[in-house]
Amino acid sequence: MVCPVCGSDEAVILKNKLIKGKNKEIREFLLKCDECGSVYNERISQDNPKPFRLIISEHEDTHKIFIDLFPDEQLVVGDFLMSELGKVKITSLELEGEKRVKKAIARDVKTIWASSEEIPARFGVSIDLHGKVASFKCETERDFKIAVDDILKIDKYVARVHVIKTEERKTTKGYAKAKVIKRVYAKPVKFNHFDYDLTKYIVQAKPLNKHKS
C-alpha cells in the first residue's frame, strides 16, 4: 500500500472494512500517510478460505481433519497452525505426486503433515550400564527442562546426564526442553541424591539391551 501523493509505504490505518463475496474477500482500508499526511483508500482482495487436508500426529496416533486456509497463504515447515484439535506444528508439506517440500503456497499443497503441540512431550532415556542399556520412554510437560550434568532418578537407577539428543543435534552442554528432546543419555552414579525423579513419567520400559556402538 503506497501513498499516491508521495510514494511512501508507511501509513496509519484509520478505518478498515471486510466485504465477503462468493469467491473472494475484499478488505477496504482508509489510510493516512506518515510522510505527507495525505488520506487515501486502498483495497486488498484475496480468495476465500478453503479446506485443506491436515494429518496430525500424536505420538503413535494420527488424526485426519481439514483446516480452512487462504489459497495464497504461504506454508513453511516449522510454522504453527491453529486447528480444531488445537495448536499444531507443520512437519512436512506434500504436493501432488507425493513430493515433499519445506515451503509452498497453500493452493499447491495436497496434504499438510503436522505434530500436535497440545499433548505431553515424549522422549527416550538411555542408561549406559557398561555393556548393556536400560531404555525408557517418558512423557512430561512440554516445557520440562533437562540439562547436561543433571542427576536424575528413573526406575531403580540414579544417573548423570551426559548427552541430550534434540530434533536438531546432540549436545554435551546446556539444556533443552522436553518438547524438542528425542533422547537423553546418562551414566549411573554411586550416590543417592538427584535433581528430579522421572519414574512417574515412564510410559514404556524395554528389557536390558546390549550397548550399541
157-181 pLDDT, tens digit each? 999 999 999 988 999 999 999 999 9
Among 7-21, 29-43, 76-90, 173-187, name the one with the lowest average pLDDT: 7-21
pTM score, whole prediction: 0.67
Per-residue pLDDT, 108? 94
The secondary structure element, H or E, covering residue 128 is strand 121-128
- Contact residues for 140 (Cβ-Cβ < 8 A; gap 6+): 120, 121, 123, 178, 198, 201
Mean pLDDT score across all residues of the chain: 91
Reading the block at residue 156, the C-alpha cell is: 531403580
pLDDT of 213 > 50? The answer is no
- The span from the CA of 71 to the CA of 108, in Å, is 8
Average pLDDT over residues 1-27: 82
- pLDDT, position 182: 96
Q: Which tens digit of pLDDT belongs to each residue from 46-87? A: 677 899 999 999 988 899 999 999 888 899 999 999 999 999
Q: Which residues are bridge partners to 183 per DSSP?
A: 124, 165
**Cα-only R_g, the chain:** 25
- C-alpha cell of 124? 527416550
Q: Which residue has the cell 512417574?
A: 200
Structure confidence by residue, pLDDT tens digits, 95-120:
998 899 999 999 999 999 999 999 99
User: pLDDT at position 101, please?
Assistant: 95
Query: How far is C-alpha 212 from the chain's CA centre?
Result: 30
CB-based contact 138:146 (threshold 8 Å)? no
Listed residue (125, 145, 123) closest to 187, CA to CA = 125
d(CA 57, CA 25) in angstroms, rounded, equals 32
